[in-house]
């Protein structure tokens, strides 16, 4: 049980009948099937973490939350799936549960961590597990977030990928891994950096310092090219907050006053070709010469 979580109501089928609750009702929300003849009422103030903790009570001892479930728990910018994923040690008959999506994995001790009271695949294992079904840009964003959250390091990822020669998705994971950067502050920022990195544009920099006429750092751009005094900012929903909006305007005015060209992108700019084309045009206006073929 997760510390601080209220004890929910757990019923057997017999107890439910005495309360006028049919088996049909137990098979639908808000009732969660924990194990044989045990259900819990999710209406009793149970949040998502508590939901997963309760669900774990009815799982085998070697079960660990994995894939997008693990990524969400460890701090990546992903939506937690409605049906959690778990991994189990391979066995002759893999148990199946309607409440979870079951995967078989041979994992070493370090591939599973205890996170907020739950067994979860490590950041490196989670990154590898997601590689087969996740595009490179999105995988980069997940890796950036896991690293920034402290769930992943360059060393731990290199060690896991080194012993994954026959694992599905390892080629993509190895391709993306050297390009991760924990300084990225958001999922869209990571994706923009990936798109630029796969183009013929100059390598884009992260957290670019903005200098005033005296050489003092007065602000930082999310991304950009210091040599060409060109910056790239992604405007997420948090930028609509009045205080954040005021801070952004102050930063942008400092950037403009000191001669920086600022490109601002938002949710509508989710196409790689649009972002790369606008960055290209900005760099050309600042004297960048494209490489000759």
Residue 238 phi, psi (nearest 5): -65, -20
As given in the structure block, the two tokens for residue 156 are 């731990």
* Domains, the chain: 1-58 (no CATH), 61-182 (no CATH), 187-285 (3.40.960)
| Sequential pLDDT tens for the chain (293 residues) | 344 444 456 667 777 778 777 767 766 656 666 556 666 665 555 567 777 887 787 788 999 999 999 999 999 989 888 789 999 999 888 887 777 899 999 999 999 999 999 999 999 999 999 999 999 999 999 999 999 999 999 999 999 999 999 899 999 999 999 999 999 989 999 999 999 999 999 999 999 988 877 888 888 889 999 999 999 998 865 545 667 667 777 777 777 777 889 999 988 888 899 999 999 999 999 999 998 86
Residue 270 phi, psi (nearest 5): -105, 20
> Angle formed by the axes of helices 123-130 and 154-162, to 10°?
60
Both ends of the chain: CA-CA distance in Å?
A: 61
């Amino acid at each position: 049980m997760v510390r601080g979580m209220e004890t929910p109501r757990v019923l057997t089928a017999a107890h439910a009948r005495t309360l006028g609750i049919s088996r049909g009702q137990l098979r639908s929300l808000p009732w969660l099937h924990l194990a044989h003849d045990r259900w819990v009422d999710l209406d009793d103030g149970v949040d998502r973490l508590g939901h997963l903790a309760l669900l774990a009570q009815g799982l085998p001892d070697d079960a660990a939350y994995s894939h997008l479930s693990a990524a969400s728990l460890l701090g990546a910018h992903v939506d937690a799936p409605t049906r959690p994923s778990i991994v189990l040690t391979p066995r002759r008959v893999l148990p199946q549960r309607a409440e979870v999506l079951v995967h078989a994995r041979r994992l070493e001790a370090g591939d599973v961590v205890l996170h907020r009271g739950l067994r979860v695949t490590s950041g490196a294992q989670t990154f590898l597990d997601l590689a087969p079904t996740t595009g490179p840009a999105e995988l980069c964003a997940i890796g950036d977030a896991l690293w920034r959250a402290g769930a992943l390091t360059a060393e731990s990822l290199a060690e896991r990928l080194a012993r994954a020669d026959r694992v599905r998705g390892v080629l993509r994971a190895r391709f993306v891994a050297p390009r991760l950067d924990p300084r990225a502050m958001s999922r869209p920022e990571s994706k923009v950096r990936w798109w630029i990195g796969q183009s013929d544009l100059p390598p884009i920099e992260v957290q670019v310092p903005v200098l005033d006429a005296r050489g003092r750092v007065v602000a930082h751009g999310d991304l950009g090219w210091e040599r060409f005094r060109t910056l790239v900012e992604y405007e997420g929903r948090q930028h609509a907050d009045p205080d954040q909006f005021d801070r952004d305007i102050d930063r942008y005015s400092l950037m403009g006053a000191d001669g920086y060209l600022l490109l601002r992108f938002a949710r509508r700019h989710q196409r790689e070709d649009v972002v790369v084309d606008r960055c290209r045009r900005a760099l050309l206006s600042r004297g960048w010469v494209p490489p000759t073929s």
